[in-house]
């Protein structure tokens, strides 16, 4: 029976990978519609022939890897359960100590390490691609350092969350999902509060913005937007990447306005101001809190569905997995599998909401700066610098894009400029 299941899983994954490869490399069209050729939305007007070729190649490979990673994660969880590894991890942990404060972190460490080892080839392939195409500039040792930081942060936070979750499952057999959701509210708010000042500095050094004149302009914009900030933080990202970014993150006294040095180096000041106005738009329109509310809503639904489905899975396959009940820590891979599948199913809706929020932030930035040319220039430079596809295929857009496509954003700017001139 096990051999048959493995055969079907390998066959299914192979067919899926073949389909995605054919779709991305042969069937999908990355070009722009004829109606927009020659406009600001046409990459041929601001990218060289070589840049166009590299952009299309990189986009196809990157998307292919991203699509492979989704079911591959599910296969790992099924393998951990099907081969009895989850039960072995738990027994080993309990052999070290019977105390839950030791058992849970040790089990999480073993499961996380096993998962990391099997996903490492895909991660390394993705990194190699970004290096090959000139996006990633970080040394291998630096990249591995960040990987290890992420690994241990993941182990620590997951141990805390899972320890509490399984204590709730054991105590509240039928209402654990509701109790867990109640604790999600302070947890997510706390994470938003500490992210900018505790977690982010583990990866990068944050300093005051070196360009004081630019900082003053950004802070003037922040004051206009009623954002309580008295400094702008600069991150030295040029050691790691050629990509550009800026953001406003955190809540309360830990709110931070952050600008990557790559953004400042590659854009003119007016273009940087448009990017910062866009990020401020997210704050002004309460998108940060909207994300929190959205996460709480989806977690409520996800936890309830997990409660309904996990028991059925264990009743059907628990004996072969070596899992006795929902409260058995060895059931965790099944829970992770459920969350991952549900997240994938919900992603088109979540991404559509995110794209709508990004459109709102773009519109806010245009109204604040009144500089359409700077907006166009920033988007075009971002496209060239990151080798982004201007018009991604349907599946890539609706399953991966949390922002409008560059073509959509540039068309919107072009229409805005026409309407302004007509007035």
Is 403 annotated as contributing to ligand binding?
A: no
Contact assessment for residue 86 and residue 321, using Cβ atoms and an 8 Å cutoff? yes
Q: How many CB atoms lie under 10 A from the CB of residue 421?
A: 8
CA distances from 194 to 140, 207, 239, 255 (A): 28, 18, 25, 10
Beta-strand (E) ranges in 53-153?
Answer: none
Q: Give the integer Cα–Cα distance in Å for 278 and 237.
A: 20
Q: Which residues fall within 8 angstroms of residue 295, CB to CB, at 6 or more apart?
A: 184, 188
Contact assessment for residue 58 and residue 321, using Cβ atoms and an 8 Å cutoff? no
Backbone angles phi, psi at 24, to 5 degrees: -75, -35
CA distances from 70 to 122, 301, 386, 399, 401 (A): 11, 21, 23, 11, 15
Q: Give the integer Cα–Cα distance in Å for 261 and 246.
A: 9
3-state class (DSSP) for residue 172:
coil
Q: How many CB atoms lie under 10 A from the CB of residue 117?
A: 10
Is 282 annotated as contributing to ligand binding?
A: yes
Q: Give the integer Cα–Cα distance in Å for 360 and 379.
A: 16
Backbone angles phi, psi at 249, to 5 degrees: -135, 165
3-state class (DSSP) for residue 235:
strand
Is 278 annotated as contributing to ligand binding?
A: yes
Q: What share of the chain is helix, strand, coil (3-state, %, to 5)?
A: 75, 5, 20
Contact assessment for residue 78 and residue 9, using Cβ atoms and an 8 Å cutoff? yes
Q: Which residues fall within 8 angstroms of residue 194, CB to CB, at 6 or more apart?
A: 254
From 73, 200, 234, 279, the catalytic residue: 279
- CA–centroid distance for 234 within its chain: 22
From 73, 271, 328, 362, the catalytic residue: 362
Tokens representing 159 are: 């141990």
Q: Does the active-site annotation cover 279?
A: yes
Q: How many CB atoms lie under 10 A from the CB of residue 260?
A: 23
Q: Does the active-site annotation cover 146?
A: no
Q: Which residues are annotated as catalytic?
A: 279, 362
**Binding site feature residues for Zn(2+):** 278, 282, 358
**Binding site feature residues:** 278, 282, 358
């Amino acid at each position: 029976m096990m051999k048959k299941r493995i055969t079907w899983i390998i066959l299914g994954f192979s067919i899926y990978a073949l389909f995605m490869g054919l779709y991305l490399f042969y069937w999908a069209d990355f070009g722009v519609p004829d109606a927009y050729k020659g406009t600001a939305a046409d990459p041929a007007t601001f990218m060289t022939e070589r840049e166009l070729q590299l952009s299309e190649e990189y986009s196809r490979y990157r998307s292919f890897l991203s699509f492979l990673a989704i079911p591959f994660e599910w296969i790992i969880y099924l393998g951990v359960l099907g081969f009895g590894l989850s039960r072995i991890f738990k027994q080993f942990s309990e052999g070290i100590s019977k105390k839950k404060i030791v058992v849970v972190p040790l089990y999480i460490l073993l499961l996380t390490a096993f998962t990391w080892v099997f996903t490492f080839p895909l991660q390394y392939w993705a990194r190699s691609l970004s290096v090959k195409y000139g996006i990633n500039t970080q040394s291998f040792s630096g990249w591995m350092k960040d990987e290890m930081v992420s690994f241990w942060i993941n182990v620590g936070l997951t141990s805390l969350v899972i320890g509490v979750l399984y204590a709730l499952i054991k105590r509240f057999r039928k209402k654990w999902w509701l109790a867990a959701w109640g604790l999600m509210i302070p947890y997510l708010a706390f994470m938003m509060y500490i992210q900018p000042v505790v977690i982010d500095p583990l990866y990068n050094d944050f300093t005051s913005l070196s360009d004081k004149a630019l900082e003053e302009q950004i802070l003037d914009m922040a004051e206009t937007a009623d954002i309580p900030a008295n400094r702008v933080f600069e991150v030295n990202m040029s050691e790691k990447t050629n990509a550009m970014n800026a953001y406003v993150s955190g809540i309360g006294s830990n709110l931070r306005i952050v600008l990557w040095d790559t953004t400042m180096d590659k854009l003119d000041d007016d273009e940087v101001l448009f990017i910062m106005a866009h990020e401020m738009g997210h704050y002004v329109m309460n998108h940060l809190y909207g994300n929190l509310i959205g996460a709480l809503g989806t977690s409520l639904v996800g936890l309830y569905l997990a409660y309904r489905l996990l028991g059925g899975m264990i009743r059907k396959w628990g004996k072969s997995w070596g899992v006795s009940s929902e409260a058995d820590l060895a059931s965790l891979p099944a829970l992770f599998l459920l969350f991952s599948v549900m997240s994938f199913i919900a992603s088109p809706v979540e991404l559509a909401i995110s794209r709508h929020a990004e459109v709102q932030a773009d519109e806010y930035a245009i109204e604040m700066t009144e500089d359409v040319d700077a907006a166009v220039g920033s988007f075009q430079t971002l496209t060239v610098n990151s080798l982004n596809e201007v018009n991604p295929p349907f599946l890539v857009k609706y399953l991966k894009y949390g922002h409008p496509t560059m073509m959509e954003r540039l068309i919107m700017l072009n229409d805005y400029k026409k309407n302004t001139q007509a007035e």
